[in-house]
Structures are given as structure tokens and as C-alpha cells.
Amino acid sequence: MDAIVYPTIPPLGLIEEATMSAAERFAHQAELGRRGLLEWAVVDPGSTNVGSYEAIERDEPGSVYENPESHVREGLEICARNGASPSYAIYEPGFVRLGAALAGRYPDTAPPIYRFMFSETYTFGYPPEPYALDSYTTLLESEAPDAPWMVAGLGVDVTPLIPRAVENGGHVRVGLEDAPLGSDRTNVEWVEHARAEVEAAGGTVATAAEVRAELAD
């Protein structure tokens, strides 16, 4: 089976201590690159507070997901050296602006893929509403015209956004990472459900080879 795999990074501030250096945090990506195994790489261009509505009701403090600019640059440098595509998780609108500006400083890097992160469980960014997707795509077209993007999230069902994403040339990520917490669906069931929604909206599911070809254009 052919698949595009993009390794994550330690979530600084959420689990890992904020003392981790950029080189330490991205060391596994650098090693995969040296072995010729890095195709996409998570590089999140910004920091944000992460707290759930339930935790707030209990007066439990949330955390800060930290991505200092030096860490973003480290990830982009690794991508540039190894021909990998940066995969940007966009938790707030400012992530689009910083991500686009920094990508411009690394002209040898492949264009980033912008992953718009929605949530119903957490308070970052936007809920999965049409106005929210329109806001992101309008900003992206201003900052990085024609950049590839997808809808995704944490603690959310993004499938209601699929028709609008398909209509506007976007893509979709689903799975247990994205799904509402405690979801009864399996990872495969989420993918099958999303596929049905994509096809009902007039879209098609691309193969890994087709994704590579589109990004290479």
C-alpha cells in the first residue's frame, strides 16, 4: 500500500518541556531526511493556548502549544535540505501569516500544505462553520495564493465542511486524532464516511501518487 506519511513533532508545552531545543525536537525528521525517507514533515508555524470547554468549566488551566520561530525555521531548513513538503497545522489565523512569511525565506522548500484546524472541544481557532473556512481561505489566498489546503482538527467532526472544501478546491483529513473525543467510529470508518461525503459533493479521493503529482505541478 502506498501512503504519504508525515512524522509529527514533540508537542512543546503540552507534554514535552519547553526547554527542548529546536535541533532536539526535529532530530528525527533530520535523520529521516538523511535516509531519504522524509516526504512531508510537520512544521507548525505559531503558538496557541489549548484548553477544553469542559476543563474551563472545572477551572482547570489549559496549556500553551509552543512553536518558537527558531523551531519553525529549523523545520523549514530540514524540509529544504531534503526536498520535503512542510505540513502546517493552522490553529489560529496568524499561523497562516507567519507560515507564509517564513516559507518565503526558504525558496528551496516545497510549498507548505496548510491544514486548517477546527474544534468543537477546544477553544483555539474556529468552530467547524462555513464562515470560518471562508475566513481561512480568504486569508490564505492573500498570503499564499494557490497554496494547497485541507480541513482537519482536534475534537471535531469536520465532515459538514466537506462540501464547501470540495467546492473550493480543498482537501480533507479525518481520523481518530481529529475526531470528537470518545468517538465510536474506528479510523477506517471515519475515512469511509469522509470518502462518501467527498464523492457526494462531486469530488474524488486521490491516490498518494496523484497527490504527489499535484504538489509537483
Contact in structure between 16 and 10 (CB atoms under 8 Å): yes
| Predicted local distance difference test score (pLDDT) of residue 215 | 84
CA separation for the pair 12, 67 (Å, rounded):
7
| Predicted local distance difference test score (pLDDT) of residue 17 | 67
| Predicted local distance difference test score (pLDDT) of residue 30 | 97
CA separation for the pair 23, 74 (Å, rounded):
7
CA separation for the pair 88, 103 (Å, rounded):
11
| Predicted local distance difference test score (pLDDT) of residue 110 | 94
Q: Where in the chain are the domains?
A: 22-216
- The three cell numbers of residue 118 are 477546527
Where b means 16+ CB within 10 Å and e means fewer, 49-61 reads ebbbeebeeeeee
- Which CATH fold topology does 22-216 show? TIM Barrel (3.20.20)
CA separation for the pair 180, 128 (Å, rounded):
12
Q: What's the whole-model pTM score? A: 0.95
The CA-CA-CA angle for residues 116, 29, 147, to 5°, reads 30
Contact in structure between 39 and 6 (CB atoms under 8 Å): yes
Q: What is the pLDDT along the chain (217 residues), one digit of tens a residue?
A: 788 888 899 998 887 667 899 999 999 999 999 999 999 999 999 999 999 999 999 999 999 999 999 999 999 999 999 999 999 999 999 999 999 999 999 999 999 999 999 999 999 999 999 999 999 999 999 999 999 999 999 999 999 999 999 999 999 999 999 999 999 999 999 999 999 999 999 999 999 999 998 888 7
